[in-house]
Amino acid sequence: MKLGWDLRVSLDRYLTSWKREDDPSLGDFTYGFELEGLPQKFLRKYNSKVIQRSGPWEGTRFSGLGMSSLSTIRPSFVQTPDEVYYTYNVSNKSTITRTVLSHTGSLQRCLWSDQNLEWSVTYSIPNDACDEYGKCGPNAICTINSPRICSCLTGYIPKSPLDWSALGWSEGCVKKNPSSCPGKEGFRKLKGVKVPDMLQFWINTSMSLKECRDKCLSNCSCSAYSVTDIEGRGSGCLIWYGDLIDMRQLNEFSSNQNVFIRVTASDLGDDIELPMLNFVAIAKATDNFSYLNKIGEGGFGPVYRGQLPNGKEIAVKRLSENSRQGSDEFKNEALFIARLQHRNLVKLLGCCIDGEERMLIYEYMPNGSLNSYIFDTLLTANSLVWRRRFDIIVGVARGLLYLHRDSRLRIIHRDLKASNVLLDSEMNPKISDFGMARAVGGDQMLEKTMRVVGTYGYMSPENAIDGIFSTKSDVFSFGVLVLEIISGRKNRAFRHPDHNFNLLGHPWKLWLEGKAFELIDEKMEDSFAVSEVMRCIQIGLLCVQRHPEDRPSMASVILMLDSQSAMLPQPKQLGFFDERNHEDVDYSLSNEMTITQIEGR
């Protein structure tokens, strides 16, 4: 069987339905190839109204059709200067199959049963609600396994919010913000989708993907672009103008079709193409978000361990309905971490936006969070020797320095704590959770907010009391973390029988009494450089001083950690060192002190 065109004689081979079940005269429905743009198969009624569209060929099938029918047939697509057609062979020579276009407009794959002596329908088109042409209207995408199958593309909102909320999707979506063209705009990558119908388009089969992107960006009417050679080298250029119609998220991992949707800078943030993973793929990777794969829970929601088909392990943060964070924090974290590359920052692999679902997909950290290692008695005793603790302190410091000084954006994390430091397979620390982070430009390193965020016990006084935050707020949190790592005790849970000081006040008291070594975790091994630990205690105390201007920058902290001979200033008054009684006790020393002697404990 051939379905398609013989271009030499302008012969179009297509299917036509019967008029009725018992009337073989020409019916209302046709199914055949159309050659505008990339060749596609269309199911039409009255030769005009589109019922279903196949999408272009992507190597093993037409991109908009499912894999179900491939168990009995091996389809192929031929495109030459003389012919453009579709055909197939059966997978098993004993199989008897046929394709029927019914009088009701259903294209059916039928299989003959020798046992029952009858035909059975194994696959039909339309197969589901998303097969319906333009189901979600313009500028929207259909995802069959989503609770609400239609969602607007990034940068678009429902044209009729009332109809949309009542599951009336036909009017589709319109741009949320006016175009900033020819200003700064970018593209959001949609992975594994059926491309929009080619109503207004431009095509060039020799362009590279970058040339295609530049071509689209230079024309303010361009809505999206993609490659034409889906099954080969990923080259060629297909550009859409105006509304984008009849897109759907594909369920199978094998789909190679990606579309780059044009969005304004305000919708995307500095032209980032963040990989988009579909909901079905993530559900499969996590065994449908199995409780057995749940590895944590935070303000964002639950975190699941998963594995992609290629064997790569991932961590999936899924925004919960009652999350303390929301879509703004989700977008904030996605855009920040996507722009950051450092060995001491967790790596974002992609995200998933599917209806109300919001997920971030990270590299999996097999050793979990630092929180469990320094506060869990069993893990601490077996794993965190001093050298490892010191390396973690240095790694976190380097990650913060990158955020504050060396990244393209100058970023204040605002929620640094032990549970937001993850450990890879070699126990290298990686800072995570950028939902509360803020970027500050140039010399603008001090800001005030009406919404105080952070974790009590790690927040600096000026942030907790006045809502003022700066890089020195992160330095304060880092100081708390250093003291926790050295002592193996949690600031907020610290209790001492002889006084009411917390974990900041306790080492401060010991420091003034010349007994700072008593802070060292008793579970650490017996042999280590006491002077190095004492130096880190002093650095921790310098970082948690009450006044921001007294705290060192992270660049100075790195210098202090790297050089045993550098002079360290003496700590001054600490902030929040007596949380329970709030006594204003003035402990102060003025001499500088440096420790260089290496001793055994």
Q: Tell me, yes or no, whether 155 and 256 share the same domain.
A: yes
What value, to the nearest 5°, has the Cα angle with vertex 505 and ends 571 and 402? 55
Residue 543's SS3 state is helix
Exposed / middle / buried, residue 36 (Cβ in 10 Å: 0-12, 13-18, 19+): exposed
181 lies in which domain range?
A: 140-268
What per-residue confidence (pLDDT) applies to 592? Answer: 29
Q: Tell me, yes or no, whether 514 and 398 share the same domain.
A: yes
**Residue 562, C-beta contacts closer than 8 angstroms, at least 6 positions apart:** 394
Residue ending a domain, choose from 222, 246, 268: 268
What per-residue confidence (pLDDT) applies to 71? Answer: 65
Distance separating alpha carbons of residues 441 and 445, to the nearest angstrom? 8
Residue 479's SS3 state is helix
Pairing of strands 140-142, 247-249: parallel
Q: Tell me, yes or no, whether 457 and 550 share the same domain.
A: yes
DSSP class of residue 402 equals: I
Q: Tell me, yes or no, whether 452 and 307 share the same domain.
A: no
Based on the residue annotation, tell me whether 415 is a catalytic residue of this protein. yes
Please enumerate, as own/partner, the contacts of 330-335 that have beta carbons within 8 Å and a separation of 24 or more.
330/300, 330/358, 330/360, 330/435, 331/269, 332/434, 332/435, 332/436, 332/437, 333/300, 333/360, 333/433, 333/434, 333/435, 333/437, 334/274, 334/360, 335/268, 335/269, 335/270, 335/272, 335/274
Any domain includes 584: no
Residue 333 has pLDDT above 90, yes or no: no
What pTM, to 2 d.p., does this model score?
Answer: 0.55
Q: Tell me, yes or no, whether 379 and 490 share the same domain.
A: yes
Average pLDDT of the residues of the chain: 82
Mean pLDDT of 550-561: 94
Higher pLDDT, 272 or 260: 260
Q: Tell me, yes or no, whether 396 and 527 share the same domain.
A: yes
CATH value at residue 310: 3.30.200.20
Per-residue confidence at 599, pLDDT binned at 50, 70, 90? very low
Residue 269 has pLDDT above 60, yes or no: no
- Give percent of the chain with pLDDT exceeding 90: 40
Pairing of strands 258-264, 185-191: antiparallel
Q: Tell me, yes or no, whether 401 and 507 share the same domain.
A: yes
Residue 584 has pLDDT above 50, yes or no: no
What per-residue confidence (pLDDT) applies to 151? Answer: 93
Q: Which of 162-166, 205-209, 352-356 has the lowest mean pLDDT?
A: 352-356
Residue 178 has pLDDT above 80, yes or no: no
Q: Tell me, yes or no, whether 245 and 329 share the same domain.
A: no
CATH value at residue 521: 1.10.510.10
User: What digits encode the pLDDT tens for the residues 452-492?
Assistant: 577 878 888 888 888 888 899 999 999 999 999 998 888 76
User: What digits encode the pLDDT tens for the residues 212-266?
Assistant: 988 998 899 999 999 887 665 667 899 999 999 999 988 654 456 789 999 876 6
What value, to the nearest 5°, has the Cα angle with vertex 49 and ends 43 and 53? 35
Higher pLDDT, 48 or 324: 48
The active-site residue out of 197, 415, 474, 578 is: 415
Residue 600 has pLDDT above 70, yes or no: no
CB 484 within 8 A of CB 491: yes
CB 230 within 8 A of CB 145: no
Cis peptide leading into residue 126 (ω within 30°): yes
Any domain includes 174: yes
Please count the structural domains in the chain.
4
Q: What is the largest CA-CA distance in the chain?
A: 104
What per-residue confidence (pLDDT) applies to 186? Answer: 79
Q: Which helix (H) or strand (E) holds 304?
A: strand 302-307
Residue 248's nearest CA partner among 156, 151, 123 is 151
